[in-house]
Structure 1
Amino acid sequence: MRWRRARVHSATDVVEKPEVKCRVRFKQREEEEEEEEEEEEEEEEEEEEEEEEEEEEEEEEEDEDEEEQQQQQKQREQHQ
């Protein structure tokens, strides 16, 4: 009887261990996927920020160009 009980316990241990390994692997995969998603989100945010900065710079340049044109027109009007 003792031998059978020990054998049953060891058989359950063997059965449980692969499940635990699968659970651990599944958790690791989930964590890796979450990390990848976070990295992708960060990259997207950085790209959006860069685009916004570029747009702002372009707008500033356009504003400066407009100001220069207005000043030139004023100078022309004054000379006439």
Structure 2
Amino acid sequence: MRSTGGGRSTYVDFVNARRERVVVYWLDWDGRRRQYRTLGPGESYRQQTYVGHPWVVTNDRGWALACFQPEPETRRAVVR
């Protein structure tokens, strides 16, 4: 999975519903993880992004918990 170009601007509202910290990464043009934010339990934030730019959320050990593909309208990305 990697980012592709040409998508329109949008937002993803990331929500950490877990009892542990999670790390939010954007997957770049080569599929590499680029860290954007660490969320504590119950924390959330809004991320500007583009359609075609995937995101992955991991635990502190780097294990993927969820992947999200942005859509043209703002969506919530709840990590459970």
TM bin (shorter chain): under 0.3
Larger % of strand: which?
2
Larger % of helix: which?
1
Higher alpha-carbon Rg? 1
**Higher normalized contact order (CA 8 Å, seq sep 6+, divided by chain length):** 2
